[in-house]
Amino acid sequence: MTTGSGKIVAIVGAGPAGLMAAQVLSQHSSLEIHLFDHKPSVARKFLIAGRGGLNLTHSENIAQFTQKYEENSGRFSAYLKRFSPGDMISWAKAHGIETFTGTSGRIFPTSLKATPLLRAWLTHLDQQKVQFHLKHSWIETKENKILIFRTAEGKTLEFDADAVLYAMGGGSYGHLGSDGAWIGPMREKGVEISPLQPSNCAFNVDWSDFFLGKFEGAPLKNIRLSFQGRTVPGDLVITRAGLEGSAIYALSKPLREALETSNSVTLELDVKPAISEEKVARQISVPQGKMSLSNFLRKKLRLSPLHIALLHEFMPKSDFTDPDKLAKGIKALPVPLVGMQGIARAISSAGGVKFESLTDKLMIKGTSGQFVAGEMLNWEAPTGGYLLQGCFATGAVAADGIVDYLGAI
């Protein structure tokens, strides 16, 4: 379809991937950009992500950065050449938002808020004449790229486009818009889709009532987790259900896969990662004197009441009298995980449209001019800026593919 204004591009989904694609496409005067979303406002998950400080990207070197995408690291190496962490910083600055790098290497807006950045972004897109159509739920796309929407009034709307980008998100935070409702219509068209699963999520632990009564909601700072040969530093929070936080989020994939074949898996928790096990053993091998064990451990290793309670929660009582066994528990406390939280409570999701169904430019094979970006794709990454960076980068790559497909100027 063309109009007097040029060729028409329909973007379905107004999250970070869709908005970035709209920005790239709006630079081409021969294109008319229409952005649809089934919610009454855009980028709701983006705004939620900014409540605790909007983590845009990460400052680590690009080789380490791309490894966070694991089996898709090769693909994301190419995507990040198109829109890199440096590009993310420049993009924010172009919208009047300065950034800073935190002690963890994460990069944030100086205000730590998402709202000013989103407001500036939408103002720019409005100036670029991107047309927004909210409260439009995508139902399907017929032949010749005729999209079918259901409006807020319950009416059916047909929209004829020259190219389409699907960026409807994964399956987490469904109440914000990423509900996975696109899976059925896509599968009917023969698109290969890996089932959506929770990622960057909390895991379940059978805490004792005593432990929960004293420590529910307590933060566990500067620890280290190990599982199947992988070691991750970070923080945790004790929840009624179990554990959540950056350290366990980074192990979501191997933990999830292990729990698919077992009712319980054991995670190792190091509560004193800065000290070797040998040094811990030496420090606690000295006579305890009249001190209680808890006071002894506080004095010698600066263990907190939470650390000591965790040791009592998961170590046999007899191990506390053996310095070597106690040292091992402090450095590699076995924590049984008995399940994981569902996708509705996950920060992100794994699964989605398989890359094998797509060209290098993210166009669906067997279609003409239909592309996919963002969390609809079958990838996952830990928190720390990798999720947003991946959404922005794939949005830019798909937009470039649309430009090439349409021969836009």
pLDDT at 254: 97
**pLDDT mean across residues, the chain:** 95
pLDDT at 175: 87
Which residues are paired to 226 by β-bridges?
231, 268
Q: Which residue shows structure tokens 């890996």?
A: 194
Q: Is the pLDDT of residue 22 over 90?
A: yes
Q: Is the pLDDT of residue 4 over 70?
A: no
- pLDDT tier, 2 (very low <50, low <70, confident <90, very high otherwise): very low
Contact 344, 371 (CB under 8 A): no
- pLDDT tier, 52 (very low <50, low <70, confident <90, very high otherwise): confident
Q: What angle do CA 176, 178, 184 make, to 5 degrees?
A: 140
Radius of gyration of the chain (CA): 24
pLDDT at 163: 98
Q: Is the pLDDT of residue 56 over 80?
A: yes
pLDDT at 125: 98
pLDDT at 1: 45
pLDDT at 51: 80
Q: Is the pLDDT of residue 127 over 60?
A: yes
Percentage, residues of the chain above pLDDT 90: 93
Domains of the chain: residue spans and CATH: 2-198+342-406 (3.50.50.60), 203-340 (2.40.30.10)
Q: Indicate the range of 48-57, 121-130, 151-160, 251-260 predicted with least confidence.
A: 48-57
Q: Is the pLDDT of residue 108 over 60?
A: yes
Contact 61, 72 (CB under 8 A): no
CB atoms within 10 A of CB 140: 14
Q: Is the pLDDT of residue 152 over 70?
A: yes
SS3 content of the chain, % helix, strand, coil (to 5): 40, 25, 35
pLDDT in tens, 305-362: 999 999 999 999 999 999 999 999 999 999 999 999 999 889 999 999 999 999 999 9
Across 98-207, the runs of DSSP E, i.e. the strands, are 99-101, 106-109, 131-134, 136-142, 146-151, 156-160, 163-166, 193-199, 203-204
Report how far residue 382's alpha carbon sits from residue 347's, in angstroms, rounded to the nearest whole number: 10
Mean pLDDT of 213-218: 98
Percentage, residues of the chain above pLDDT 70: 99
- pLDDT tier, 5 (very low <50, low <70, confident <90, very high otherwise): low
User: The whole model's pTM is what?
Assistant: 0.94
Greater confidence (4 vs 222) lies with 222
pLDDT at 164: 98
pLDDT at 371: 98
